[in-house]
Amino acid sequence: MFLDSRRDDLIISGGVNVYPAEIENVLSGLPGVHDVAVFGAPDERWGQRVCAAVVGDVRPDAVVEHARAHLAGYKCPKDVYLVEDLPRTGTGKVRRSQLAGKLGLAT
């Protein structure tokens, strides 16, 4: 079990707890990924769906393929967004709570 995330970063998708840090560690190992943040976006069926915002020179389908090769299916991002940068706090931590809104996914 991997519990190295803050509780408020937790994604609950279909009743299953998903920890973004575990997925980010896997995705950051893909060549071309310079930075990555995993977050939950509202989903009518699942409550939240797992999404990834990626900074780098990589195709979204390559990110999904890499995730499928290294993670359980429910942990794989359903959507991958290529972004210029990630919103951060003054101390450099990613503001996951802002990602869905920044990408137009918040309800």
State the residue range of the domain holding 41.
7-102
For residue 87, being part of any structural domain is answered with yes
CA dist 94 and 107 (Å) reads 21
Residue 97: per-residue pLDDT? 83
For residue 1, being part of any structural domain is answered with no
- CA dihedral over 74, 66, 1, 38, signed as positive or negative: negative
For residue 107, being part of any structural domain is answered with no
Question: What's this model's pTM, rounded to 2 decimal places?
Answer: 0.89
Q: What's the number of domains the chain is made of?
A: 1
CATH of the domain at 92: 3.30.300.30
> What average pLDDT does this structure show over 40-68?
96
- Supply the mean pLDDT for the chain: 91
For residue 27, being part of any structural domain is answered with yes
Does the structure show a pLDDT above 60 at 107? no
Residues paired with 16 in a beta bridge: 13
For residue 61, being part of any structural domain is answered with yes
For residue 24, being part of any structural domain is answered with yes
